[in-house]
Amino acid sequence: MTGLSAARHKVTTWTLRKDFSYDRPHPTLEPPKWNINGLSPVPHVEGTCYAKTFPMFLQKAGYRTIHVGKAHWGAQDTPGADPKALGFDVNVAGHYAGGIGSHYAKKNFSSPGEPIWDPPGLEEYYGKDLYLTEVLTIEANKQIDKAVADKKPFYLYMSHYATHAPFEVDDRFSKKYEDAGLTGVDLAYATMIEGIDKSLGDILANIKRQGIEDNTIVMFMTDNGAPPAVPRNLPLKGHKLHSYEGGPRVPMIVKWPGVTKPHSVCEDYMICEDIFPTFLEMAGVKDYDQIGLQIDGISFVPLLKGKKARHKDRSLFWHFPHNYVVEPFSSTRKGDWKLIYFRTDEHFELYNLKNDIGETNNLMDKHKDIAKSLAHELRAFLIETHADMPTIKTTSTPVPLPKF
């Protein structure tokens, strides 16, 4: 949304209730003071990152900006909780929560006693035998139809609440998975994935039906790896939130008619903050800034055009100074090499992803020169971004920055 890295914008874990952190107690570390209330479109809101979003710039350029599904940008009772405050003309079902009470319309998408998870504006579907993925797809296609009828160029941000918990079976697809022997969470997860697949197909079919197929760019991706409740995505190590590749490594599929070659494969990597400059370049928007903050993202338009990356073997950085599912870490990747710095005991792990995508062989002892170089880059980045650090309980001092 902002082109900023997590270390810079400091919304480094998930938000929900205002001024409340979901860090879990840690035996030796205290979590840092972070932007606990998320993203804000206005300044001087305590505990927020004040920044502009790329939908704001698309609005200014004449696009109708449409949000459907999960938003989860600002905490409850803060300006960033409302997608319309963050550059969207239309908001369907998006608010401060990153999850859902229930995916079932027959349950009013709600969990008893937990109204904070209820998505807004879907009352017309209450009590019906529908799954939320299908409902959001219906609503997204309605908005596409309206934009086409109004002859408005549009940006649709289609963000499903699936495959997030609660893991509930989408009955439209369950039989074949039951016949294959799947039960419980595995059964639910499989049907949720197929529901998203069908959603994409339904949206693509509508784009074609509306006659705008050749003038519409479609990008399809997930924001993180599989959750810990389901089997690992082998051969990757770890799950969602992990520093290992099972957390941050995800696929992306792009259809850009007349520009991106069909069936082509790009082996270069990018990171989520790259979306900000990429989408603006696609839309022809050149006049943008980030309120005095340095944009970390780099446009990957050249890659979509089959060209070389603008910055070959660039360094990517991740920063998670919290104790939630996993312990605090910072990490970096440059080319085939990846270094992870675990903050609890201040140890490093080094992997060559080209030869060992499953991160089974820690090469710290064999390639200390490479580890030292990557640690230096990671340290410099954390200093430059003023990254928040957990503190050591016994000394009340920040965990040391990575250094050899």
What tens digit of pLDDT does each residue of 96-123 get?
Answer: 999 999 999 999 999 999 999 999 999 9
Cα separation, 99 vs 77, in Å, equals: 17
Q: In tens digits, what is the pLDDT along the chain, a chain of 404 residues?
A: 999 999 999 999 999 999 999 999 999 999 999 999 999 999 999 999 999 999 999 999 999 999 999 999 999 999 999 999 999 999 999 999 999 999 999 999 999 999 999 999 999 999 999 999 999 999 999 999 999 999 999 999 999 999 999 999 999 999 999 999 999 999 999 999 999 999 999 999 999 999 999 999 999 999 899 999 999 999 999 999 999 999 999 999 999 999 999 999 999 999 999 999 999 999 999 999 999 999 999 999 999 999 987 777 899 999 999 999 999 999 999 999 999 999 999 999 999 999 999 999 999 999 999 999 999 999 999 999 999 999 999 999 999 999 88
Tell if the pTM clears 0.85, that is, is over it: yes
Q: Is residue 346 one of the residues assigned to a domain? A: no
298 within some domain: yes
- Residues 6 or more apart whose CB falls under 8 angstroms from that of 331 comprise 243, 317, 318, 338, 339, 340, 341, 378
| Distance in angstroms (rounded) separating the CA atoms of residues 380 and 330 | 12
What CA–CA distances, in Å, run from 383 to 8, 35, 321, 377, 388? 10, 17, 14, 10, 10
Does residue 99 sit within a domain?
Answer: yes
Could you tell me the two tokens for 7?
Answer: 């270390």
Is residue 23 in a domain?
yes
Structural domain for 37, as ranges: 6-312
**CA–CA separation, 328 vs 27, rounded Å?**
12
Taking only Cα atoms into account, the Rg of the chain, rounded to an integer number of angstroms, comes to 22
Residue 382 lies in a domain: no
Q: Which two tokens stand for residue 400?
A: 């040391």
Q: How far is CA 317 from CA 240, 309, 328, 347, 375, in A?
A: 16, 17, 14, 17, 11
The pLDDT of residue 312 is 76
Specify the amino acid at residue 167: F
Position 340 in a domain: no
Residue 222 lies in a domain: yes
- The stretches of 283-316 forming alpha helices (DSSP H) are 301-304
Question: Do 54 and 1 contact (CB within 8 A), yes or no?
Answer: yes
Number of domains the chain is built from: 1
The CATH number for 186's domain is: 3.40.720.10
